[in-house]
């Protein structure tokens, strides 16, 4: 697409900067920069309060399709959405806790939900008052989303859900979870699935167990459903339409948010370059070439994101984007350790058996980025999608 900023975008940028400068004060300023990948636990109470402040200012859901109604948020063009994302990242505002509801569930409800569902859930997301988590991945299924074993059985006017989800971000804090479950026991794979909206406050029926990672933190969780209740009117798209809705949701994972991600990547790359210069590692010609390659590839990712922004019907675009940034970020984590040499193995403070070990930002980057080529659909899954849906190659055997 022809992507250029106009005079109206400049005025909007000024408005954004002014609002952020006036509201990023006190505890919000103190939590600025917290809550990125691998750090979802940092400053969470202040970040949840910040989400409500964003909602009160109308800054949540700028990219929602307004043809189905307005839910208290501002209208913004595509270029203005990019402006907001850029200024938000450059202001080092707190990591968002409402991104799953805003960027994944809300567009899905607008596209596939009914008016009752939109009226019930979109205002709460737009106000920053209701947080969501995603119930997709399951144990032993890897990236195979169709290998769903969680079941939902009709019980009068509701469904009772039993099963387990894993790698669920924000599950301990979320008010709601959208769950992909099998509602037709006679079907298999992608048939007979439904997309249910489930309240998380169900003691004895929903249990959340944090997963401790090698970084020492617990951003992800296991979620166990034991007869958890979802109301019958909270099935998006109708019973049995879960696969279509779930695939539609995954398509929303690209867009303006990828540009925000890249601004964060640029900040991390700058920190790695500073480490290389300060420690003298930049004198190594091989390492210097790797740093330059990282910079060049990041620019390519930005141009690709701008090229595909707002486009529709490109089945390969999300997979290409995931392959690009997943591999890039993982290599950056490796490079962050390489520029330090042997010192990369030492933590920022002396280790003590009485206290958990600590990591600095670049060490957390390295450990967390090991997962970048796995979560959100592994590289192998993305290549299968490109092979089958773009190149038209024969489908691989499915069990």
- Nearest Cα to Cα of residue 154 among 101, 102, 192: 192
| Residue partners of 96: CB distance under 8 A and separation at least 6 | 35, 47, 51, 102
253, 271, 358, 388: the active-site residue = 253
- Nearest Cα to Cα of residue 39 among 335, 258, 377, 363: 363
Tokens of 57: 């200012």
Phi, psi for 196 (deg, rounded to 5)? -110, 145
Tokens of 384: 């299968």
Chain position carrying tokens 């043809």: 67
Please indicate whether residue 253 is annotated as part of the active site. yes
- How far is CA 111 from its chain centroid? 19
Looking at the DSSP assignment, which residues form a beta bridge with residue 175?
A: none
CA–CA dist 368, 76 (Å, integer): 33
Helix 285-308 vs helix 317-338: crossing angle, to nearest 10: 160
* Dihedral angle computed from the Cα positions of residues 44, 318, 166 and 63, in that order, rounded to the nearest 10 degrees: 40
- Nearest Cα to Cα of residue 74 among 85, 88, 63: 63
CA–CA dist 35, 37 (Å, integer): 7
* Dihedral angle computed from the Cα positions of residues 30, 32, 36 and 41, in that order, rounded to the nearest 10 degrees: 30
Q: Among all residues, which ones are annotated catalytic?
A: 253
């Amino acid at each position: 697409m022809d992507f250029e900023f106009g005079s109206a975008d400049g005025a909007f940028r000024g408005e954004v900067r002014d609002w952020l400068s006036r509201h990023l004060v006190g505890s919000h300023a103190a939590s600025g920069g917290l809550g990125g990948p691998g750090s979802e636990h940092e400053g969470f109470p202040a970040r949840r309060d910040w989400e409500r402040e964003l909602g009160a200012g109308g800054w949540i859901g700028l990219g929602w399709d307004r043809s189905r109604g307005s839910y208290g948020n501002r209208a913004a063009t595509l270029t203005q959405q990019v402006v907001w994302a850029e200024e938000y990242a450059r202001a080092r505002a707190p990591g968002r806790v409402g991104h799953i509801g805003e960027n994944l569930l809300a567009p899905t409800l607008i596209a596939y939900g009914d008016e009752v569902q939109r009226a019930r859930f979109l205002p709460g997301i737009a106000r920053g008052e209701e947080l969501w988590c995603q119930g997709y991945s399951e144990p032993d299924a890897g990236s195979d989303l169709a290998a769903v074993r969680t079941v939902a059985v009709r019980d009068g006017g509701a469904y009772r859900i039993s099963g387990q989800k894993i790698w669920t971000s924000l599950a301990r804090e979320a008010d709601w979870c959208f769950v992909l479950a099998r509602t037709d026991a006679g079907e298999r794979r992608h048939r007979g699935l439904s997309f249910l909206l489930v309240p998380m406050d169900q003691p004895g029926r929903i249990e959340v167990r944090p997963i401790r990672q090698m970084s020492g933190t617990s951003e992800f969780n296991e979620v166990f459903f034991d007869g958890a209740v979802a109301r019958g009117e909270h099935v998006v798209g109708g019973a049995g339409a879960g696969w279509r809705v779930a695939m539609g949701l995954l398509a929303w994972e690209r867009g303006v948010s990828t540009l925000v991600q890249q601004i964060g990547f640029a900040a991390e790359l700058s920190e790695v370059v500073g480490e290389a210069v300060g420690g003298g590692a930049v004198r190594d010609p091989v390492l210097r070439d790797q740093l330059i390659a990282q910079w060049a590839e990041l620019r390519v990712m930005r141009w690709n994101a701008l090229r595909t922004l707002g486009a529709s019907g490109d089945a390969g675009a999300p997979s290409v984007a995931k392959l690009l940034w997943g591999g890039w970020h993982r290599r950056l984590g490796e490079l962050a350790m390489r520029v330090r040499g042997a010192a990369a193995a030492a933590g920022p403070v002396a280790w003590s058996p009485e206290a958990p070990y600590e990591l600095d930002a670049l060490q957390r980057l390295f450990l967390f980025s090991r997962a970048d080529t796995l979560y959100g659909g592994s590289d192998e899954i993305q290549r299968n999608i490109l092979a089958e849906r773009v190149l038209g190659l024969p489908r691989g055997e499915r069990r």
